[in-house]
Each structure stands twice: as structure tokens, then as C-alpha cells.
Structure 1
């Protein structure tokens, strides 16, 4: 038998073995747990890596796709950038020539800017304009015929001669071309396939806000200069180039008649009436659909004489006072005060004030406006000037809808300002020249003859004055003559002399 000491030694040794075995078990469990965590982290990292790898491959495929088919975009406001006279007069052939010249000119600029990459870039041109209104404008200068959309052959051939050239008719709505150009610019300005944008809208200060965020981006944008160029575009720190072979370098109203008798515009030639061929009135309005096949006589109003007279002075007067239409005023007058100049007044080269365009209201708008004054006449000061200084004003300050407000403005514009063309009041809502459709300056029109033939080309903008006493007195006189029942000459209230 074992002695007691041996038994205690074996018991102690057995306890040591059990403890070491338990510690070994604990270490093994801890190792297995850490291994499981390591394996879990590995699987998570592997998943992230696969996603990152897939995203990188997708980006590479996208980048390779964007590098394919690089192009440059040329955005042109066709209402302000006029093609050269000889191109327009050439009609359909002129459209083809204009497209080729534009392609060559842009390509030449691209070589200076992009170097060898220019050969890989295609040129996409988008021209937006009111084709009907532009046709009428060009017809007045003898560049095209007086048929409706007489510029169409030029437009169609310019579009068809190059695959990526489009001359788009934006319609006759105000600023329709502006909206198109703005959206096209926003669509492509950050597109990687679009390597550069040539912007041809610098005649209109309304595009400044569009371009200001990209000031200094010389690698993305180049401004194209034509006849009219607002000097504020120089502050954008963008390169400015010209296409002298494509666009006119002088504004359209400055074009003079030719010395050669064969080139004298048709307007200056007097054609006696023909009993066998009546005059086509649609042609004179620019809406004849039959063109050269029309059986009626195609002459302008200034060419037609009811009887042949040797009195050359009467002929001159008739040509000088040829009536202007609403379309003429819409095309030549500013639509709003220039936002860049703030409270400033547009004037022509002789210092005469030019009004913003005021469209004639519809019969429904007139009726809507005339219903209100029968009950309570609206206060002109409050609704137009923005405030009324009379403590106990007897006229209505209740909210006025936009339609009635536009009628009020139109009615005021039918009455001449007492200060005349020298008025510089920012709050003067009277007229400074006539805007009536085809008005010849005879009664009942209250404007003088000069107000019907005023040069409407803006030369500059001058600071406005808050108040002019002479303008105020004239308004008071005009309001006293107005009758509430006369929709053309009605004022909302006689206290309008504080509007100046």
C-alpha cells in the first residue's frame, strides 16, 4: 500500500494536471473565438473589396464611354446674332455657306484652344430664334421677301447641311429662345463629353446670371461677340472671340441703302396701283402663304400709291410715318428694366427716353379691369409706385390681380408724359412715345409725330431720378382729361400726379 505521503503527492499532481488541462481548454476556446472574429472580418473586407472593385470597373467603363464621341457646343441666340447680309440674301445657298463658314471658324478657334484634341471633337450648333419675327425684321431691310417665314429656306439648308447643326424655331413667345438656351447650357456645361461651349448671347444682359457661376472657367466657356456686346461680359474673365465671316459686325438698324439702283431696297421704289392685280394685304403683313405664286400684287405699304403724284414731299412724309406694328415694338423695345443697371433709364443716341414694351390687353382683360372701377377705383400710386403718401386716400388699396395691373399700365402709357422724352423719373408710368398698333399719329392719338418715328435703338442706360416735378404736373393734366368709360384713356383715379 501507498504511504500517506505518496497519496498526497499523487493528489497534488492530479490537481495540477486538471488545472493545466482546464487552462489549456480555456486557451483553445479563446483562440477559436478570435479565429472566428478574424474570419468574419475577412469576409466583410472581402465583400467591401468586391464592391469597390466592381464600382471602379463600372467607372472605368463609364469614363471610356465619355471619352468616346467628344464634341463642342455652340449656343446662339438667333434673335440677336444676325448672319451676314450676303448669306441671308442668298437664301438656301446662303444657309449652306453659313454652316460651312461656321464649322471652319469654330474649328480654327478649337485648334488654338485644344490643340491636337480639336480634330477628335465634333461641332454641335444650336441656334434658337423666332423665325417669323426674324423674317419680318429682315424683310424690312430687303434681305428676304415679305412672305410668311421668308427666312425658312436659309434656316432649313443651314440645318440640313451639317449633321449636328440645328436652327430651331423657338416660337413667338417672349423669351422663348432664352429659356431654350439656358436649359441647353445647364445640360451640357458639366458634361464630360462636351469639351467646350461657345456662347453667343452676349447682346442680352439677361444671360449674365447664367454665366456668373462659371466666371474664369476659360477651359470650358468662350464668349462669341457680334454686332451688339454688353461690356459687363468682360468682367466674367472668359475668352472673347468673333466670327466675322459669319455674323454682322454692325447692328441691323445702322444698315444703309445701296448706291446702286439695282440694289436699292424695294421700300424706296414707288409702284403705281394696277387695276388688274389687287394688292396682297397678307404680303404686307408678312403672312402670305403663296409666295411668288400669289395672283395678287406683292408690294409694301410704303410702295403703294392710290394715285400717282409729283409731290415728292408728300411721298417722303408717307414713307417717314409708315405705321409701326405691335410686332415691331415687341422686337425693338426692352421687355423689362435692365437688371444689371438697376434703377436706370434706357435712352437712344439723341438722349430720348425709351419705354419698355407694353402689350395691348385683350378685351377680356379690359372688361375685368373696368368692372372694378365702377365700384371702387384702384389707387395708381399704391399699385404701381408701391406706396401712397395720402393719409386719407379715397381710392382702393386692396390687392389687384396681375391682369388688371397690366391693363392699368397700358392705359397710362396711352397718355404722354409732360416732361416728354427728357423724363428720367423711375416711377413715371406715362408714355414717352406711342406704342399703338399701326398708329399714324393722327387723332385721337395724343403723341406728336416725333413720338411715332423715334429711334428705339438703346444707346446707353442713365441713372433714374426719384421725382421730377414737371412730369408730375403733366400727369395731373392727363388724368383730368381721362374718362372712366373710355378703356383706352381711363385712369384708375385722378390723384395719379404723385406717381412721378
Structure 2
């Protein structure tokens, strides 16, 4: 039989054991609590770091401004046009990223760098009569740079490879930057960049931006890499460096007709306009008997046909030199004036007679964005290339479907 003393001794040992067990459990719980707090702090630190990293995530947009030319409507808007171009480009990039990469950070930054030979590019735009002078182009660049702190048009210098070298250097920095979500590369007409992009043909960080059609080697890369376009900002064809290269060889004409000039306007006029007092150019649609002021002529394919205009090449050259506002003088209204914005072309007293006909021809040198299906009775733009044959190929402002159009009129809208 166990004595009371033995029982008390055993009870004391049991109590001591239980106290040690509870102490161990308390220490373990405290340790688990400390570990849990440590991991919670670590999670919070990681989340904060990820959030900060997302704030630093950016898309690098690299563009060769020498081969990616802006639309006339932006260039002719001066500083305001530059602002519109920067804003339109950024919105297009954001829209592309949001649709193609839904998981992209909401606060993604768009960093735009356009490198170009400023002097050479300004001269090209002036020769193409897109801007009146170099200073006007400078105003456009000023507006582009002022619109957004991350949008820069950079004068790369007048060396042949200056822009190329800067674009290559910036590309290499961007592609290796962990904060760079994507590189959007715009230099579609320059084969030289194929060597830069070739090693990255399997990259998941590059998108090719198309303005003019991709040069042959870049076209091959475009089958491997995703592509996008920004038709609201850039031309679909490149402006040639010298206005004289835009000229074409006119068809043979009788000696009594006006002698073709070297410049584009005169050559185009001889190719597609009937000078007063001379016979109708072969291939031009016959003048209909009905008035066409408010009707649209159609061919057998229901494509719009521009009715012929009779004017001399001299009048055409004179109208081009005056830089008149086509809309104001032809239609009596100007979209810029209606929006309360300054128009970069002359208004004044509206032209009439043979000057008006010549100005209508000048207006047709600009492609209608609606193309052959245009239903706007007040449209003054061209619905086919006036050069027949056209020797510009992909460089022509008019797309392939607006060449060789059947000009036989069979109906009117």
C-alpha cells in the first residue's frame, strides 16, 4: 500500500511534469506566433516591393522618326498638331497593351522616344510641302515634347547612323531592364534594324510597330513577333527625301499641250488633267451630261469615280504655291475654324472659276480615308491615284485598291 508521503511525492512530480509541459507548449506557441509575425511582415514587405515595382514598370516605345513619318494633319497643326500626335500615340499604345495583355499593371508608364535627324527630316517635310518651313516643323516638335513628360522627340544629329545608334543603345538597355514590360519598336521601313532584332525573334517582350510596309527582312521577323499599327498618327508610306523623286513620267502628249515639268505637281497634272483648249486625256471618264454638284458617280463595281476636272498645269502650280485651305475655298467651311482652332492654310476671299477647278485637282492629290466606298457628297479628296501608270509602288500615298480603278461611270448616287 502506497503511503501518503509517497503519494504526495508522486503528485508533486506529476504537477511539475504538467507545468513543464505547459511551459513547453507556451514557448512553442510564442515561437509559432513570432514566426507567423515574421512571415506576415515578410509578406507585407514583398507586397510593398511588388507594388513599388509595378509603379516602375514601363513600356519602352522606340521609333525611328526618319522612316516613320507623321500624318499631314498633325504636322500642319503646328504645336497643337504635335500635342495631338503625342496624345494619340500614347493612347494607341495603352489601348494595345490593355487588350493584348490584360494582366499588365494598371499604372503602367509609357515612355516614348522618337529619334531622327531633325534638319534632314524638316527639309523632307518642307520639300513635300507638308509644312511651310523648318520653323513650323519645330513648333510641331515643341508641341509633341510638351504634351507629356515621357514623350520625347530627340534630334539625333545629322550623321547618317546617328538615329540608328541611339535607338540600338536604348533598345539594348530596355530589353534587359527587369522593369521594362514591353518594347514597341517602330522602324518598319528600315531593313538595317533586322540585325538588331534578329537575335530576339523569340522574345516575349517585343512588338513591331508598322507605319510604312515592313522592309523585306523585317517582314520575316514580323511573322515571329507580334505587330501593331497606329494609323491615326503615322503615314502608311514613307515620304521620299527629295520632292523631285516624287515625279513621274507623264504620258506622251501632242506638242501643242503644256510641256511636262520636272516637279511632282506639274507632272501629275500632265498625267491626269486636261488643259483648257486641248483634247481629253485617254482613259479619263467622259463628262456626264447631268450636273454632279451633289451626286456621286459610280462604276460597275459600285466604286466611287471622280469626275474629270479641266485645268492647266500652270493653274495647279499656282494653287499649290498659295497654300490655300482646300475645304474653305471649295466647300465654304473649314473644320479647324468650326472647332475654334487656327488653320495653317490661307482663307481670305474664296477662289472661283479656273482657280477653283485647279484647287479641286490639288485636293484630289490627298487620298480619301473612306476609299472607293466613300458616300460623302462633299468629299473633296481623291478616290484613285491620278498617276497612270503609277511608278511609286509601295511609296504611293494611295493603297493598291485605289490604283487601276475602272473610271467608266454607270450610275450616280
TM range (shorter): 0.3 to 0.5
Relative contact order higher in (CA < 8 Å, ≥ 6 apart)? 2
Of the two, which has the highest radius of gyration?
Answer: 1
Please, what TM-score do these two structures have when normalized by structure 2?
A: 0.47
